Structure 1
Amino acid sequence: MTAGGSWEIPPLDDAPDIARTTESQPGQALADARNWAGFVLLFLGSLVAVVAAAVGVAGHLSAAVVGAIIAIVTVLVGVALIVLERGNARARQNSATESQPSATWEAVVPPGA
């Protein structure tokens, strides 16, 4: 059997092919370098939030409020970057799958059979 020119064994029980799935896999968002800016902003925003809480406990309320505002803006921008990039990735994936014809299994007699 061939699909794209290489020899493959077709699934006999109509089981899903997990080796070439198009669904997102665990850790795929972290592995994509396009998401790193958003994750860095999320980390920095949470770090600034912790520092703002510590400064607030120390008694410097105006500095704590400024830090909290910076933390909120940083976290929101980080989340927005990640959401937008995931949307772009889905759009790229959909356009790639629409442009390629779906592979169909063809009955081919292997050499020497």
Structure 2
Amino acid sequence: MKWIGPCTEEEVKTASMRMYEWQKQDGQRFQCRFHVHDTKEIEGAWAGLVDWISNYFFPLNYACGLRFNISITSPDLFSKLSSLELKKRSNYQVTTILCETISQAEAWLTQKYSEMN
């Protein structure tokens, strides 16, 4: 999912729940274990959502097969700090991986897929 510009907490929750619906309907069927969030263009802090993501959104998705949350970090300081807080709260269910570029995320995914097969 690509995040762009400023987003309210409600907009983030709504978009996240659409991702959950996809994971529940299609992602689970195709054994999708990874979500990639391109937050390079998001503006502002979303640290107020870290609890909601960690304690509500991730457990829902974990039940449908999600194991890794890959986040391509924003140069926006407040957004980056929010990503770092989410990574700090990674748990045994869904691990957050931070990457600076899409290429780094692709390399990580390629490596992880080769380890799984």
TM-score when normalising by structure 1: 0.22
Larger radius of gyration: 1
Normalized per residue, which structure has more strand? 2
Structure with the bigger RCO (C-alpha within 8 Å, sep 6+) is 1
TM-score when normalising by structure 2: 0.22
Normalized per residue, which structure has more helix? 1
